[in-house]
C-alpha cells in the first residue's frame, strides 16, 4: 500500500529566507509525486509533480521539489519565502503499480504541513 509522511506539522520561516517542507513516501514501484497547497477556505491547488525525468521539478509560484529515490523523499523548496506563501501544504503519491485497467488515479495524501512565513 502506498503512503506519505510529512514529519512536520508546522514550519515557520522568515520572509526572504529559503523554505523547505519535507515529504517521504512509500510505494511498491516508481512513484508519481505531487505537491498541493490549500489556502484557508479554499480547495487544493496543484503546485508541481514528478513523474519521470529530472529529479528537480519546478512548479507554480517559484516552488520546486527534488525527487530523491534513495531517500524516498520529495521535499518542497523555495529560495525566498513570501508572506503570501503561508498556507497548508500537502504531499501526495500515486503508485502506478497499483493502476488497474479501469483507469484509477487514486492519490494518497500526507497529513499536511502548515507553513507560516513571518514578515
3-state secondary structure the chain: CCEEECCCCEEEEECCCCEEECCEEECCCCCEEEEEEECCCCCEEEEEEECCCCCEEECHHHCEEEEECCCCEEEEEECCCCHHHCEEEEEEEECHHHCCCCCCCCCEECCCEEEEEEC
CB of 14 to other proteins, least distance (A): 27
Considering the complex, state which of residue 32 and residue 67 has its C-beta at the smaller distance from other proteins: 32
Query: In the range 54-93, which residues lie near other proteins by CB under 8 A?
Result: 90, 92
Choice from 23, 94, 95, 117 touching other proteins (CB under 8 A): 94
Q: Is 5 in the site for other proteins (CB under 8 A)?
A: no
Binding segment for other proteins (CB under 8 A), chosen from 15-23, 37-45, 62-70, 74-82, is 37-45
Residue that the C-alpha cell 501544504 belongs to: 89
Considering the complex, state which of residue 45 and residue 68 has its C-beta at the smaller distance from other proteins: 45
Q: Is 46 in the site for other proteins (CB under 8 A)?
A: yes
Residues lying near other proteins in the complex (CB under 8 A) are found at: 32, 34, 36, 41-46, 49, 51, 90, 92, 94, 100, 102-112
Amino acid at each position: 500500500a502506498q503512503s506519505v509522511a510529512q514529519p512536520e506539522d508546522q514550519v515557520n520561516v522568515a520572509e526572504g529566507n529559503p523554505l523547505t517542507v519535507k515529504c517521504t513516501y512509500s510505494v511498491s514501484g516508481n512513484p508519481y509525486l505531487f505537491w498541493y497547497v490549500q489556502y484557508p477556505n479554499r480547495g487544493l491547488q496543484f503546485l508541481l509533480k514528478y513523474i519521470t525525468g529530472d529529479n528537480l521539478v519546478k512548479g507554480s509560484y517559484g516552488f520546486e521539489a527534488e525527487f530523491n529515490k534513495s531517500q524516498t523523499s520529495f521535499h518542497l523548496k523555495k529560495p525566498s519565502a513570501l508572506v503570501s506563501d503561508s498556507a497548508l501544504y500537502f504531499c501526495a503519491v500515486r503508485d502506478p503499480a497499483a493502476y488497474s485497467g479501469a483507469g484509477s488515479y487514486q492519490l494518497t495524501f500526507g497529513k499536511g504541513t502548515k507553513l507560516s512565513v513571518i514578515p
